[in-house]
Amino acid sequence: MLNRLLRKQTLASFDYQWRELPEADALLSDEWFRSNVTRIIAEELLCLRPEWFEGKRILDAGCGTGRWTVGLLELGADVTAVDFSEAALEQVREHVAEHCTEEQQARLRTQQADLLELPPELAAERFDCVFSFGVLHHTGDTHAALRSVARVAADDGVIFLYLYGQESVNRLAWARLGAERLLLAPLPFKLKQRAIHLLRPGSDVHHAFDLLSPTINDRHTYAEVREWLVESGFRDVERTIEHTELFLRGAREPEAIAPFTLRPPSPPYWFARY
């Protein structure tokens, strides 16, 4: 019961965030990010040459407002963007219409979906790549959500995950974050937005809201998530960015992507500017 309530609150929090706080650093409203999104996806996140993406079927699992969706379309992929929030999907469609050509727009499909249990028609499909950035750790069961989306990766498919790393926050900071979230949890979202502004003066309100408003924010170790990916049939798992956070690429058949792989990036990474 408690987990169900926490999950309901977390989903509602993101729905509010996508609807009311659509602009921030590292979103499409950020000119630098917008100009670099395709490079970031290819060279830093997946470490695959841009030509690999052409014609690929990609599931953007938990697409938010579509910052990565736009980049994937520009790289030549056919993208199915899914999110639990209809407000997020509306933003995706608006952003794709604003930033993409008609040909790129034609390669977009959006669908509302729960990543813990994909709709049957979506679960029956197979994708060349499952891309999920900063989402599975908000579901209440990261392992189950990973299994759910991993099933739709093709036999020679690839998965990319960004997840919160356990090593990024020490125990004292983790306890403080937990206390702040519990304190803020009962507040209506509009009032919570104001309270967060007071708690974190000068910070990017969108990202501070993302940090403090959702009650589910799980963290994991590399070894833990690597084991889950291997269980799901990804024989090769690599950290594409060496960091306390988890940036992971899994390949079912590593030989299928071998001609396209790039060396992992060196710091400073794209997010260092923020």
Domain ranges (residues) in the chain: 2-263
* Predicted pLDDT at 2: 62
* Predicted pLDDT at 65: 96
Distances 181 to 81, 186, 252, 256 between C-alpha atoms, Å: 29, 9, 38, 44
**Mean pLDDT, 10 residues at a time, the chain of 274 residues:** 86 95 94 98 98 98 98 98 97 98 98 97 98 97 98 98 95 89 92 90 91 94 98 98 98 98 97 94
Query: Could you tell me how far CA 245 lies from the centroid of its own chain?
Result: 13
How far apart, in whole angstroms, are the C-alpha atoms of residue 69 and residue 74? 9
How far apart, in whole angstroms, are the C-alpha atoms of residue 95 and residue 86? 14
Burial grade of 49 (CB within 10 A; 0-12, 13-18, 19 or more): middle
pTM of the model: 0.96
Residue 63 has φ and ψ, to the nearest 5°, of -80, -15
Burial grade of 194 (CB within 10 A; 0-12, 13-18, 19 or more): exposed
Nearest of 169, 259, 158 to residue 218 by alpha carbon:
169
* Predicted pLDDT at 255: 97
| Residue 134 in tokens | 């900063």
| Residue 156 in tokens | 């020679």
* Predicted pLDDT at 267: 95
Which one-letter DSSP state was computed for residue 43?
Answer: I
The topology under which CATH files domain 2-263 is Rossmann fold (3.40.50)
How far apart, in whole angstroms, are the C-alpha atoms of residue 250 and residue 161? 9
Pairing of strands 246-251, 153-163: antiparallel
How far apart, in whole angstroms, are the C-alpha atoms of residue 59 and residue 88? 15
Please report how many Cα atoms fall inside a 13 Å half-sphere around the Cα of residue 180, on the Cβ side.
22
Q: Is 184 helix (H, G, I), strand (E, B) or coil?
A: helix
* Predicted pLDDT at 3: 82
Nearest of 43, 5, 19 to residue 260 by alpha carbon:
43
At position 158, the amino acid (one-letter code) is V
How far apart, in whole angstroms, are the C-alpha atoms of residue 98 and residue 102? 10
